[in-house]
Chains A and B, each alone.
Chain A
Amino acid sequence: MKKILAVISIIITGALLVYGVKDFPKWADPNQPASLHVSPRYIEHALDETAVPNLVTAVLGDYRGYDTMFETAVIFTAGIVVMMLLRRPRKW
């Protein structure tokens, strides 16, 4: 019963994903929308404004610094949650 329902929902999801294939860009297309709006500005001005040759570190640390700060908070919270779930206090 469970497997029949799983197969039906797989077929429906697969049909929806195949229907959306004509909107997706080609592999390694230079004019796809992901590399047109803000990405050329980061590539052209990163070395002049930050003096860091590695573009990923410049974007991660400087242009998108807020995301990195909250992502550090996410990994910290995950460690605290695992501590809270699994450690039991000693009986005095």
Chain B
Amino acid sequence: MFEYFISKYNYWMYVVIILIGFYAMMAKGNFMKKLIGMSIFQWAIIFYFMSISAKKGATVHIIGGHGAHTVVNAADFVNPLPSVLMLTAIVVAVATTGITLSVIIMIFKRYGTLEEDEITTPE
């Protein structure tokens, strides 16, 4: 029974953080708090993908000290693919955060407030 909890603890941490971010996006009324929830959500996903790349007894993925003709064994090195894909995901997260912040600035200029209830009630 405990084997599910201890051997996969990176997945449990990912579930906890993703539910915290999801709750912040839905239940809070201020737009800045919703944006922080979205940011927590994105970084939880990136964190889980990076934790997939670990291997038992392996070293970091830089081949150093060899010549060009020694045999490289795939079980000695940490998987480089999730790091590569998450570099793109980090840049996409930065881009969406920047655009969301500029939309929030425009909402504030137009309405004077950032609370969701005061903006969406019809006047």
The answer on A and B forming one complex is yes
> Interface residues of B toward A: which range?
35 or more
Is B81 a contact partner of A78 (Cβ separation < 8 A)? no
Tell me which residues across on chain A come within 8 A of B18, comparing CB atoms: 17
Which residues of chain A from 5 to 34 have a CB within 8 Å of any chain B CB? 5-7, 9-10, 13-14, 17-18, 21-22, 24-30, 32, 34
* Least distance between B91 CB and chain A CB atoms (Å): 5
Tell me which residues across on chain B come within 8 A of A64, comparing CB atoms: 84
**Which residue of A2, A7, A34, A48 is within 8 Å of B79 (Cβ)?**
A34
Is B84 a contact partner of A85 (Cβ separation < 8 A)? no
Is A71 a contact partner of B88 (Cβ separation < 8 A)? yes
Is B8 a contact partner of A27 (Cβ separation < 8 A)? yes
Give Cα A28 to B75, complex, Å: 12
Is A10 a contact partner of B9 (Cβ separation < 8 A)? no
Give Cα A39 to B87, complex, Å: 17
* Least distance between A73 CB and chain B CB atoms (Å): 11
Is B80 a contact partner of A43 (Cβ separation < 8 A)? yes
* Least distance between B58 CB and chain A CB atoms (Å): 8
- Say yes or no: A71-B92 contact (C-beta < 8 A), given A6-B26, A17-B15: yes
- Say yes or no: A13-B22 contact (C-beta < 8 A), given A32-B52, A59-B84: yes
- Say yes or no: A26-B8 contact (C-beta < 8 A), given A32-B52, A48-B68, A55-B62: yes
Is A75 a contact partner of B91 (Cβ separation < 8 A)? yes
Which residues of chain B from 58 to 85 have a CB within 8 Å of any chain A CB? 58, 61-64, 66, 68, 72-75, 77, 79-85
Give 10 nearest A-B pairs by CB, closest first.
A78-B95, A40-B74, A6-B27, A55-B80, A6-B26, A55-B61, A28-B54, A71-B88, A28-B56, A26-B7
Can you list 23 A-B pairs with a CB-CB distance of less than 8 A? A6-B26, A10-B19, A26-B7, A30-B57, A30-B58, A30-B75, A32-B52, A34-B53, A38-B81, A39-B79, A39-B81, A42-B80, A47-B72, A55-B80, A67-B88, A68-B88, A71-B92, A74-B95, A75-B94, A78-B98, A81-B99, A85-B99, A85-B106
